[in-house]
Amino acid sequence: MEKLKLDDFTKYTFLSGLEYNPRGSHACFAVHKADMEENSYKSNLWLYDVQKDKSWQLTAFDKEKGFIWQDDEHILFPGMRNPRDKEKAEGGGEFTIYYRININGGEAQEAFRIPLAVESITNIDSTRFLLTATFNSNRPDLEGMSEKDKGKELEKRKEDKDYEVLDEIPFWRNGGGFTNRDRSRLCLYDSSTGKYEVLTDDTMDAGGVRLNDNKDKAVFIGQPCVKGKWQMEDYLFILDIEAKSVRQLTKNKFSWSGVFFIGNTLVAMGSDMKEYGINQDVVFYRVDQVTGEQQLLAPEFNLSTWNSVGSDCRLGGGNPFRVDDGYLYFIATEGSSSYIYRIDLEGRFEKVSTAEGSVDSYDVRESKTLFVGLRGHQLQELYRLEAGKEEKLTGFNDWIIDEKHLAPLEQITVETAPGVTIQGWVMKPVDYEEGKKYPAILDIHGGPKTVYGEVFFHEMQYWANAGYFVFFCNPRGSDGRGNEFADIRGKYGTIDYDDLMAFTDAVLAKFQGIDQERVGVTGGSYGGFMTNWIIGHTDRFKAAASQRSISNWVSMGFTSDIGFYFEEDQVTATPWSDIDKVWWHSPLKYADQVSTPTLFIHSEEDYRCWLPEGLQMFTALKYFGVDSRLCMFRGESHELSRSGKPKHRIRRLKEITDWFDKYLK
């Protein structure tokens, strides 16, 4: 057995996008591996044969990760395999090429090309498809133009790349760049003619498209942009496919996360955001297809309906909602794990999976369940779930357990306030010796409405292998314990800070092997905010690494892609309603009290926790004579630590580890 190395994550295999064929005889999923030479990731499609209990690689072009089943034997996936097509795309051409491959063998062949930038696609029949595609209302549609006019328009777009005109908010999206006037439009495409029809207008984004069983109707969610400002609420719409007519179903202010046909009944998941704001857990409704009237289902269900269990060992995701045999299946985070649940039309719900860990992708067909999950020290694998029992079907990452030293997680529960208990974990150094003192790192999760759980986390395992205690917890504000526990609106830096400090006290008291003079703190996103906050309120930590952080709510609220609504909701104030409160919750206010040497990690294309947030705090610390350093990554977004380029992820983890080594060892 050898110690885990910093760059071992480049050898991990990641799985995503699991999907049964219509009959349920096979399932397809994407397999991703780091490509160090290209500083990117290779992705290929794999098949699992249910009867033969066998998996094998289907594609080998290293670019296939998104797909749909066209029928039981054919898979469609987008690609660009011809160099001439790549050249056209780089020249500004807008089109998406789909390839078809037979699961029984043979090369993939071009099936059709759509003159749109397709985001999602669903097949109605053998030739017709319902899709969403990006369209910018400031640019004319290239489809139907003569080659001469098309050439002129592309030349104009090339010239306009030196300019960016903004007339709406948000004007950019994390990892997506400037998105002013971009719309996601619903379209009907016929591959037999190569023609498409636009079904929604330019006043809204369309998404979450679902067909009924007869495939003559579809429902979707539309989010409006009013007077240059995207709204927090969205609405349900229903499409008559043959008539090509769209009708708005709901009119009340709601945030909808999904809408589905279960047989002939419409079921939706949404939140009125009235009691707990934008992070309020959704509830289930039956929706009348004529009037849009909503009937509440399962009012007692009080969990978030998504997987919020953190890990830096995933790439890609999967459909979190499935409909099968009269049930709506979904993923819910409960405690520190995520599980598969299902609900019927009477509002009866039940937990389908029961093992702790994380369900990252899954599908159900005739109650047969396959899923991609994280279990204990095991990285992602494919599992079968039958009668409540799980069976691991693949061994992509077995070598890690066989070859590497891994630190076990010791759970610790701490009472941080009267009636408030916090769940957390401690990892000892893998070469721990009784009587010896070791440095330690407190790691704080993002969100804040996410959770840490008992799943593989590369950076933590690496630090444990590098001789550190690592400890982490789920303070108030975290997911998995209902709305009230997660609600820290207007309280950032108060009860959550108290929980983290009380947890730290408990860990240091219980684990005598930790040298209390050599403890560091780090975290990203909300964890970066808390790191900035902590160093301005205590000097107990001897080094800090603040990642993709918030330092100033005044600037964050009006530069971040989510800031204009996130700040008002989470801080419960704006600079105009209560500037003192906005500034009070800003870590920058307390920068003159910082003495902790601090490293800042930020990405140039992170428009969620925008670079100036780190620059302000870094500059303030330098101004006050505190040792600090900022490392900025070009070409990266808010997802640097999870899906950034492999070499950048290596450099990020090295920067953080070297900083802690400098001050804690």
| Residue corresponding to tokens 């349900």 | 236
Superfamily of domain 405-664: Alpha/Beta hydrolase fold, catalytic domain (3.40.50.1820)
Q: In whole angstroms, what is the distance from residue 571 CA to residue 573 CA?
A: 5
What is the structure's pLDDT at 102?
98
What is the structure's pLDDT at 541?
98
DSSP H/E element including 462: helix 458-465
What is the structure's pLDDT at 245?
97
For every residue of 285-306, which 3-state class applies, written as one string?
A: EEECCCCCCEEEECCCCCCECC
DSSP 418-457: TTEEEEEEEE--TT--TT--EEEEEEE-SSSS-B--SS--
125-145: b (≥16 Cβ within 10 Å) or e = eeebbbbbbbbbeeeeebeee
Kindly list the distances between the CA atom of residue 44 and the CA atoms of 203, 336, 341, 572, in Å, as whole numbers in the listed order: 37, 31, 29, 45
What is the structure's pLDDT at 352?
97
Question: φ and ψ at 542, to 5 degrees?
Answer: -90, -10
| Residue corresponding to tokens 């992602």 | 380
Angle, helix 526-535 to helix 495-510, in steps of 10 degrees: 80
Which two three-digit tokens encode residue 461?
């395992």
Instruction: Tell me if residue 460 falls in helix, strand or coil.
Output: helix
Q: What residues have CB less than 8 Å from 411, skipping those under 6 apart?
A: 423, 424, 425, 454
What is the structure's pLDDT at 196?
95
Q: Which residues of the chain are under the pLDDT cut of 50?
A: none
Is pTM beyond 0.85 here?
yes
What is the structure's pLDDT at 153?
83
Domain boundaries, the chain: 405-664
What is the structure's pLDDT at 137?
85
For every residue of 305-357, which 3-state class applies, written as one string?
A: CCCCECCCCCCCCCCCEEEECCEEEEEEEECCEEEEEEECCCCCEEECCCCCC
Kindly list the distances between the CA atom of residue 380 and the CA atoms of 364, 368, 392, 395, 639, in Å, as whole numbers in the listed order: 18, 20, 10, 9, 19
What is the structure's pLDDT at 90?
85
Kindly list the distances between the CA atom of residue 569 and the CA atoms of 273, 563, 573, 584, in Å, as whole numbers in the listed order: 10, 10, 7, 16
Q: In whole angstroms, what is the distance from residue 463 CA to residue 471 CA?
A: 11
